[in-house]
Amino acid sequence: MQTADFIQLLETYPKRNLSFEYAPGKYVRADYHVTEVKNVLIEATDCGGRQDSWKETVVQLWANPEGEEPNHRLTSSKVLDILKRVSSLQPLMKNTPVKIEYGDRDFHTAQLNITGHRLENNHLIVSLGVEHTTCKAKDRCGIPEVVGNNAQECAPGSGCC
């Protein structure tokens, strides 16, 4: 999802409590904070020597490990207000993919893609998912584009990766 699409989603459901589902049935605690919004420029070189660059927006979420804050709940409009405040100081790159960064004691810190959303009661639930790593120079490293689902095919030394 692009940053502009995420903003539009928040604008569409302003009074809903905003929840993030980082794995099926697992949610960022309801009293999370938006702690940082990052405009990110990535300049990369793959193992085959091909250079690439792209931009992303990263919204970082945090839940206080000291315990739940019962009076702290974010609505879509509150998160939208935070994004507007950020954009007034550091304009958001609206035509870039948006990622949600989150981690806690039970879930490793990761940048997650928005994979969908749904409405449940008074909540706008944003579903998150992982993007798996891959070899970006398969064509130059002799790695086939399609890899089977058999675990033995991807064993160390199998040529899978």
For 28-87, give the DSSP string: --TT-EEEEEEEEEEEEE-TTS-EEEEEEEEEEEE--TT---TT---BHHHHHHHHHHHH
Q: Where are the domains of the chain?
A: 3-130, 134-161
Which three-class secondary structure state does DSSP give residue 126? strand
54-91 confidence digits (pLDDT tens): 999 999 999 988 888 888 899 999 999 999 999 999 99
Residue 142, pLDDT above cutoff 80: no
> Is the pLDDT assigned to residue 2 strictly greater than 80?
yes
pTM of the model: 0.85
For position 155, what pLDDT does the model report?
46
C-alpha 34/C-alpha 78 separation (Å) is 10
pLDDT at 151: 46
**Which has the minimum average pLDDT: 17-31, 43-57, 129-143?**
129-143
